[in-house]
Amino acid sequence: MSAPRSRGLEWYIARRYLSSRQQGRLFSFITWIALGGVTVGVSALVVVISVMSGMQEDLKGKILESSPHVQVLQQGASLRMDDWNKWADDVRELEGVEAVAPWVLTSVTALRGTYSQSADMYGVALDPMGPSVTDMEAQIQDGAHDLGPTASGLPPVLMGSRLAARMRVFTGDTLTLIAFENLTVDVMGMPSPSMRQYEVTGTFTTGMYDYDIKNLYVPLDAAQEQLGMLDEERVGGLGVRVTDPDRAGEVSDLIQDALGNEFSAVSWTETNQALFSALELEKLAMYVILTLIVIVAAFNIVSTLVMGVVDRTREIGILKSMGMTDRMILRIFMLQGLSIGVVGTVFGAALGLIVAWVLDTFEVIAIPPDVYFVDRLPVSIHLNDVAMIVAVSIVIAFLATIFPALQASQLQPVRSIRHE
């Protein structure tokens, strides 16, 4: 018997064995159970891994929207940088650096009437030398968010939308910001914090709860004036934008080497390392847990093949007596099991992709942003993740066929024919 003809015969017999004896075109009930188990397992894997990838990408995008790729700080107790223009010029010359701008950051208390709320005040340069460092600064400089001159003559302030809603502050209202870094001592010897009034010129929404409930933006010179740094050409540090955010760690090392130990260059990956490490670990844990579903479904494939071997022992003996080899019988049952695994995997991957698309398009599931940092369930489908899931599922299905197929191939023709 030639190889192509034998392959066709093996596939024909495997297909017949998959079919119910009563209804030749329908899978048997137990075959449907095995097929359903693989389908559910693979679809769950595709959906969950897509959600975890989407969570990572969504968080990354929102973090980089408001944070520089690299922060350059001068060592010291005050966390202040002197003569920042000189150091900014040195950093701009390095490979991979796209933009450099100064910033000031301090914790303040926002006061409106009798209600106060802690917040982080960012002083940003409205006219930096070159491109903006963050997307938020770009929106401010392009006029999408207003930090220009005010009608009252007070310095402007841009508030996070959730902070503004909590304090019931609207555009045009006056807000008092109290900073504790520029303390003065009154005639009684009591420390007095620096208090300044600002006019609210607008609000912003990043979708990141922690940013929208805490962040304030003011012009750089206003922040310097309130903190007593305006006449000293002093800033909090430098923000750096790199050409490839994923290589921010390498650029931060270059900056560190160029500026020396007096400075500290910290990339966004290092700043948020704990968060993204936890997400990676959670993604791995979910992958392992849901892979167990596919493994459980593989046991259904084993049971289907074992029952098939027991039920068709006489038929196997007859096939062997007619000239079929052990290897041909082995391939018949392996094809039978692999068919269940491949079909279930294809159906599961398709179902998972459809569910992921629905979740991403229609935002079916809303989640509390104060707990998970985001206000919706993000989904990101990566073909390499789907390909890995499909490959693992097919490998598991293949391994599940080995034992029952070997059991069938080792049956003796005479004993098999006499089997009752």
**Which residue did the predictor score with more confidence, 137 or 304?**
137
**Buried-exposed string 188-201: b where 16+ CB fall within 10 A, e elsewhere:** eeeeeebebebbbb
- Residue 186 confidence class, pLDDT cut points 50, 70, 90: low
- Residue 23 confidence class, pLDDT cut points 50, 70, 90: very low
- Residue 397 confidence class, pLDDT cut points 50, 70, 90: very high
Could you tell me the two tokens for 47? 């959906």
Q: At what angle do helices 326-362 and 3-18 cross, to 10 degrees?
A: 60
Q: Is residue 295 pLDDT above 60, yes or no? A: yes
pLDDT at 406: 94
pLDDT at 25: 44
Could you tell me the two tokens for 274? 């704990």
Q: Is residue 4 pLDDT above 60, yes or no? A: no
- 377 φψ region: left (φ > 0), alpha (ψ -120 to 50), beta (else): beta
- Residue 2 confidence class, pLDDT cut points 50, 70, 90: low
- How far is the CA of 299 from the CAs of 29, 231, 306, in angstroms? 15, 75, 10
- How far is the CA of 279 from the CAs of 55, 60, 268, 357, 378, in angstroms? 8, 11, 16, 22, 14
Q: Where are the domains of the chain?
A: 3-62+275-417, 76-260
| pLDDT tens by residue, 302-332 | 988 888 888 888 888 888 888 888 999 999 9
| pLDDT tens by residue, 376-385 | 788 999 999 9
- Residue 316 and residue 45: Cα distance in Å, rounded? 37
pLDDT at 322: 87
pLDDT at 312: 83
Q: Is residue 20 pLDDT above 60, yes or no? A: no
- Residue 398 and residue 277: Cα distance in Å, rounded? 33
pLDDT at 3: 58
Could you tell me the two tokens for 309? 């071997």
What DSSP assignment string belongs to 244-299? -GGGHHHHHHHHHHHH-TTEEEEEHHHHTHHHHHHHHHHHHHHHHHHHHHHHHHHH
pLDDT at 364: 82
| pLDDT tens by residue, 57-112 | 988 998 999 999 999 999 875 678 988 999 999 999 999 999 999 999 999 999 99
Q: What is the mean pLDDT of residues 344-360?
A: 96
- Residue 121 confidence class, pLDDT cut points 50, 70, 90: very high
Q: What is the mean pLDDT of residues 246-270?
A: 95
pLDDT at 189: 63
Could you tell me the two tokens for 316? 């196997």
| pLDDT tens by residue, 200-230 | 999 999 888 889 999 999 999 999 999 988 7
pLDDT at 339: 92
Q: At what angle do helices 248-259 and 84-92 cross, to 10 degrees?
A: 130
**Mean pLDDT, the chain, integer:** 88
Q: Is residue 21 pLDDT above 70, yes or no? A: no
Q: Is residue 148 pLDDT above 70, yes or no? A: yes
Q: Is residue 274 pLDDT above 80, yes or no? A: yes
**Buried-exposed string 373-408: b where 16+ CB fall within 10 A, e elsewhere:** bbbbbbbbbeeebbeebbebbbebbbebbeebbebb
The β-bridge partners of 106 are 121
pLDDT at 10: 85
**Which residue did the predictor score with more confidence, 405 or 420?**
405
Nearest Cα to 94, choosing from 237, 243, 235, 262? 243
